Amino acid sequence: MSRLDINIRRLKAQRACLNLAAETIGGLAGPVFELGLGNGRTYDHLREILPARGIFVFEREVAAHPDCIPDEAHLFRGDFHDSLPRAAERFAGQVALVHADFGSANPERDARLAAFIAEFLPRVLRAGGVVAADRDVGFAASEALDLPDSVAPGVYFLYRRTA
Amino acid sequence: MSRLDINIRRLKAQRACLNLAAETIGGLAGPVFELGLGNGRTYDHLREILPARGIFVFEREVAAHPDCIPDEAHLFRGDFHDSLPRAAERFAGQVALVHADFGSANPERDARLAAFIAEFLPRVLRAGGVVAADRDVGFAASEALDLPDSVAPGVYFLYRRTA
């Protein structure tokens, strides 16, 4: 597989998982958290498939397409280590969906960040709330959801808070 | 369509067109030109599908994955306006395939660059040589090739030098 193949596989898995996650949370009330804005592609997708939800974005340095930047009220600027604890206080047990796309070429860094996010998830997600992530963020009181058929195991991850 | 959808469509069109272009040039001798390296995804794909070809890359500022950077002998650094005329002298009428991925959010800039590249193509491509591009670079003595079935018109472009 070339890097082009890998990128296509990754983006298709991302889209399929976000679409399934949006369907899974269905009638469950609550906002969406987007951890990492990047160029704003998945933020744009989330607001398209979940138009009625508040979407809060966490990003250290905003550098997205100008039309894919949320207003300041929906933006947590700064490092996850500062912004996630702040958000956890304000949104404890309220969030319906978290999307966390934070993987890098550095597996140690990714594992540390996955562990940090896994601590954060049960604090903000409501029961039945879902996380979609590009790294394994399995957390306490969660169950892995079946991936869409098109998604190979390990390319993307879906968990639901059980209780 | 969200920006995620558009990006997936674009990358799939890119891959389908490169694969078809590689098949189309078949036994036609000659190197490959990659106009723009970016993060090296399509360069990586080209060297995977055309392992026996010399691939020359044109890039102003090299910022690709470290394993997707060609050696200096296959790298034309600098602005296209300087590097393409130099390459046209050295490779006049020898090139089998040009891939040009240069589109931006600025249609006027893209149209100017497409016109500049369209001037360059008949100088370097051999008869039967193919160009795949993300903008319309149709040039003198060229014919449009049928796109792969999966590619919507206008997403990617394929031309062959006729004579």
Instruction: Walk along chain A (163 residues) and give the pLDDT tens digit of each residue.
Output: 999 999 999 999 999 999 999 999 998 999 999 999 999 999 999 999 999 999 999 999 999 999 999 999 999 999 999 999 999 999 999 999 999 999 998 999 999 999 999 999 999 999 999 999 999 999 999 999 999 999 999 999 999 999 7
Q: In chain B, how many domains are there?
A: 1
Q: Which amino acid is at A61?
A: E
Q: For A63-67, which contacts have Cβ atoms below 8 Å and span 24 or more sequence positions?
A: A63/A38, A63/A39, A64/A37, A64/A38, A64/A39, A64/A40, A65/A39, A65/A40, A65/B3, A65/B105, A67/A40
Residue with tokens 């592609």: A41
Element (H, E) at A144: strand A142-144
Tell me which of A1, A5, A7 to substitute to probe the interface with B (most B C-beta atoms closer than 10 Å). A7
Judged by a CB distance cut-off of 8 A, whether residue A11 touches chain B is yes
CATH code of the domain covering residue A124: 3.40.50.150
Q: Is B2 close to A44, i.e. CB distance below 8 A?
A: yes
User: In this predicted structure, what is the pLDDT of residue B163?
Assistant: 78
Phi, psi of A31, rounded to the nearest 5 degrees: -80, 175
- Chain A contact set for B3 (CB, 8 A): 39-41, 44-45, 65, 68
C-beta atoms surrounding A59 within 10 Å:
23
Mean pLDDT of B130-139: 97
Instruction: Report the pLDDT value the prediction gives residue A163, as an integer from 0 to 100.
Output: 78
Q: How many CA atoms lie within 13 A of B85 on its CB side?
A: 4
**Is the CB of residue A2 less than 8 Å away from at least one CB of chain B?**
yes
Report the SS3 class of residue A65.
coil
User: Range of A78's domain?
Assistant: 3-161
